[in-house]
Amino acid sequence: MVSLMGSIFPESSGEAGDRTIAYNATYGAAATAQAYFSAALAATTPEVRALLAGYCSQGLTGHEGIMNYMIQKKWVNPYDQPERQLSTAVQESLSSFKAH
């Protein structure tokens, strides 16, 4: 029987699949936090603003956790030059796209 991860990432297994999932999770967590932050800025009532700010904080905490994991695994080097970081992100995005 084919595993779920094997069906989603047929050419990736083990660490390569984990890395792809981690990159996608960081992008999703960052986008979610950004959306809640924007909504909190636009909210007119203090209660709604506080609610949205709480969700934003949770998203940031999740993103931080995933990034710390990626740094620990040496998939990301936060001290690389910005051009190198961008190049790495593009390569990961392309490899994730090719896997589908």
Domain ranges within the chain, ordered by starting residue: 15-88
Those residues whose C-beta lies under 8 Å from the C-beta of residue 33, and which sit 6 or more positions away, are 56, 59, 60, 63
Q: How far apart are CA 61 and CA 75, in angstroms?
A: 19
Whether residue 62 contacts residue 31, with contact meaning beta carbons closer than 8 Å, is answered with no
User: Mind listing the pLDDT tens digit for each residue in 25-34?
Assistant: 998 999 999 9
| Residue in 33, 52, 55 with CA at minimum distance from that of residue 42 | 52
The residue ranking higher by pLDDT, 51 or 8, is: 51
**pTM of this structure:** 0.71
Sequence-distant (≥ 6) Cβ neighbours of residue 23 within 8 angstroms: 70, 75, 89, 92, 93, 96
**Of 41 and 97, more confident:** 41
Residue 17 predicted with pLDDT over 90: no
Q: What is the pLDDT of residues 38-74, one digit of tens each?
A: 999 999 999 999 999 999 999 899 999 999 999 999 9
